[in-house]
Amino acid sequence: MTQSNAQPSIRQRVICAAQDCEAGYNLKAAFPDFPQVLQVWQNATAAIRPTLLSDADIAYGSAPLQGFDFYRADGSQRPLLIFIHGGYWQGGDKSDIGFIAAPYVRAGISVAVMNYSLAPQARIEDMVFEVHALLASVYKMAAHMNIDRNRISLMGHSAGGHLASYVASQMSKSELPLQAVFAVSGVFDLAPLIPTSLNKALMLDAARADQLSPVLLNGPTRTRVHTIIGAQETTQFHAQAAVIASCWPQVVAHHVVPDTHHYTVLLPLADERSPVCQAVIGEIAG
- Please report the pLDDT score of residue 9 as a whole number: 44
Give the pLDDT confidence of 133-161 residue by residue, as tens digits.
999 999 999 999 999 999 999 999 999 99
Give the pLDDT confidence of 68-98 residue by residue, as tens digits.
999 999 999 999 999 999 999 999 999 999 9
CATH number at residue 242: 3.40.50.1820
- Please report the pLDDT score of residue 2 as a whole number: 44
- Please report the pLDDT score of residue 152 as a whole number: 97
Give the integer Cα–Cα distance in Å for 38 and 60. 26
Whether residue 222 is predicted with pLDDT greater than 70 in this model: the reply is yes
For residue 10, give every residue at least 6 positions away whose Cβ sits within 8 Å of its Cβ, in sequence order, or none: none
- Please report the pLDDT score of residue 4 as a whole number: 43
Mean pLDDT of 159-164: 98
Percentage of residues of the chain with pLDDT beyond 90? 92
Whether residue 106 is predicted with pLDDT greater than 90 in this model: the reply is yes
Whether residue 94 contacts residue 136, with contact meaning beta carbons closer than 8 Å, is answered with no
- Please report the pLDDT score of residue 174 as a whole number: 72
Per the model's pLDDT, the better-predicted residue between 8 and 17 turns out to be: 17
Give the pLDDT confidence of 109-134 residue by residue, as tens digits.
999 999 999 999 999 999 999 999 99
- Please report the pLDDT score of residue 5 as a whole number: 42
Mean pLDDT of 31-59: 98
Distances from the Cα of 83 to the Cαs of 17, 41, 70, 133, in angstroms? 32, 14, 10, 14
- Please report the pLDDT score of residue 10 as a whole number: 61
- Residue 72's domain comprises 2-285
**To the nearest whole number, what is the mean pLDDT of the chain?**
95
Within a 13 Å sphere around the CA of 152, how many CA atoms are in the beta-carbon half? 28
pTM of the shown model = 0.95
9-18, 159-168, 190-199, 206-215: lowest mean pLDDT where?
Answer: 9-18
When divided into structural domains, the chain yields a total of: 1
Whether residue 163 is predicted with pLDDT greater than 90 in this model: the reply is yes
Give the integer Cα–Cα distance in Å for 17 and 12. 16
Whether residue 8 is predicted with pLDDT greater than 50 in this model: the reply is no
- Please report the pLDDT score of residue 6 as a whole number: 42
